[in-house]
């Protein structure tokens, strides 16, 4: 699925300022969500904005989602209230007409509740820009209250990654693995389906835009975005989803581990 993802607000047009800064913290959650969604086989379209007005950042988000024909738009926020005792999570949808979105939203609320956040439930609102200006099913995830003492305590305990995990698991219906490398298997619909060990990866601290294609044996640097597109198109035609893409850093050189593992000679040969 192609997901338009927006970490609410812009560094130049902040959201709520509570005990913590909504915009800065939500951007951390966004950054954790992207590789989790990609590892689950989804494509993430960055719908963030650096605009310096509310209208500008709202339009940037939905325009990017619409222009990229995203299949779902997800806008991440933190709530705010005058009282430090207001706490909890809620998810807004445009209306209750989409059973799949209802289920995802309910699941997100349930997952937050399991971590102690009061469940404020799924709500419907046709007035919110993110919900009415997006041309695909959309949700606004109000993760927690940045003004709430108990919520912020829970946030600090879980960290942005913990919050990202709850949202991603709610959206995908799958458990997010904590393993750093998540290579995927083709849908197990028929007996004898084989594991596909191919992926894209980037080494973000060396060159965040340089994409490598790992064909199961060797990594190939790509020189043009269309090269990635054609490889992904073929993969998608065969597998029904995008090729997984991993973001690694040279400090934890998983690409080296991967290459070493596939190049090592087999040690045991099983004879029949
Ligand atoms: Zn907000």
In the chain (272 residues long), the average pLDDT of successive 10-residue segments reads 95 94 97 95 96 95 96 97 96 95 97 97 96 96 98 97 97 78 46 67 88 87 92 88 88 83 72 56
- Backbone angles phi and psi of 234, in degrees to 5: -65, -45
- Please choose, from the candidates 81, 143, 79, 84, the residue with its C-alpha nearest in 3D space to the C-alpha of residue 112: 143
How far apart are alpha carbons 162 and 47 in whole angstroms?
22
- How far does residue 97's CA lie from ligand 1's centre (Å)? 24
- How far does residue 251's CA lie from ligand 1's centre (Å)? 33
Check: CATH 3.40.630.40 for 2-172?
yes
- Please choose, from the candidates 143, 158, 5, the residue with its C-alpha nearest in 3D space to the C-alpha of residue 72: 5
Q: Given this model, what pLDDT does residue 144 score?
A: 98
Give the mean pLDDT of the chain: 90
- How far does residue 98's CA lie from ligand 1's centre (Å)? 23
- How far does residue 56's CA lie from ligand 1's centre (Å)? 14
Residue boundaries of the structural domains of the chain: 2-172, 180-272
- How far does residue 270's CA lie from ligand 1's centre (Å)? 58
- How far does residue 249's CA lie from ligand 1's centre (Å)? 30
- Please choose, from the candidates 94, 61, 77, the residue with its C-alpha nearest in 3D space to the C-alpha of residue 145: 77
- How far does residue 124's CA lie from ligand 1's centre (Å)? 16
Q: Which residues are CB-contacts of 175 (< 8 A; sequence separation ≥ 6)? A: 169
Query: Model's pTM, two decimal places?
Result: 0.67
- How far does residue 146's CA lie from ligand 1's centre (Å)? 10
How far apart are alpha carbons 47 and 62 in whole angstroms?
7
CB-CB neighbours of 5 under 10 Å: 25
Q: Given this model, what pLDDT does residue 115 score?
A: 97
Q: Given this model, what pLDDT does residue 184 score?
A: 47
How far apart are alpha carbons 100 and 134 in whole angstroms?
17
- How far does residue 105's CA lie from ligand 1's centre (Å)? 17
Q: Which residues are CB-contacts of 195 (< 8 A; sequence separation ≥ 6)? A: 183, 184, 185, 186
- How far does residue 238's CA lie from ligand 1's centre (Å)? 39
Cα 5 to Cα 48, 50, 201, 237: the distances in Å are 7, 14, 20, 24
- How far does residue 12's CA lie from ligand 1's centre (Å)? 14
- Give tens-digit pLDDT for 155-194: 999 999 999 999 999 999 888 876 544 444 445 444 444 5
């Amino acid at each position: 699925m192609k997901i338009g993802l927006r970490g609410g607000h812009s560094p130049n047009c902040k959201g709520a300022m509570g005990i913590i800064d909504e915009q800065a913290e939500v951007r951390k959650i966004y950054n954790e969500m992207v590789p989790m969604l990609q590892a689950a086989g989804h494509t993430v379209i960055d719908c963030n904005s650096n605009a310096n007005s509310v209208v500008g950042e709202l339009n940037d988000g939905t325009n990017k989602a619409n222009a990229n024909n995203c299949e779902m738009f997800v806008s991440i926020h933190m709530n705010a209230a005058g009282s430090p005792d207001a706490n909890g999570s809620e998810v807004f949808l445009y209306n209750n007409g989409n059973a799949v979105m209802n289920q995802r939203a309910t699941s997100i609320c349930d997952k937050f509740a399991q971590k102690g956040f009061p469940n404020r439930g799924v709500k419907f609102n046709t007035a919110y820009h993110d919900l009415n200006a997006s041309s695909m099913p959309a949700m606004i995830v109000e993760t927690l209250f940045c003004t709430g003492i108990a919520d912020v305590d829970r946030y600090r305990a879980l960290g942005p990654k913990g919050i990202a995990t709850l949202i991603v698991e709610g959206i995908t219906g799958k458990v997010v693995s904590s393993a750093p490398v998540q290579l995927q298997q083709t849908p197990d619909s028929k007996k004898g389906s084989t594991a596909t060990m191919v992926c894209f990866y980037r080494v973000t601290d060396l060159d965040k835009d340089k994409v490598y294609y790992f064909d199961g044996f060797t990594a190939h640097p790509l020189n043009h975005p269309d090269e990635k597109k054609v490889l992904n198109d073929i993969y998608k035609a065969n597998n029904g989803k995008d090729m997984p893409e991993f973001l690694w850093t040279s400090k934890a050189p998983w690409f080296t581990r991967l290459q070493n593992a596939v190049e090592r000679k087999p040690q045991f040969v099983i004879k029949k």
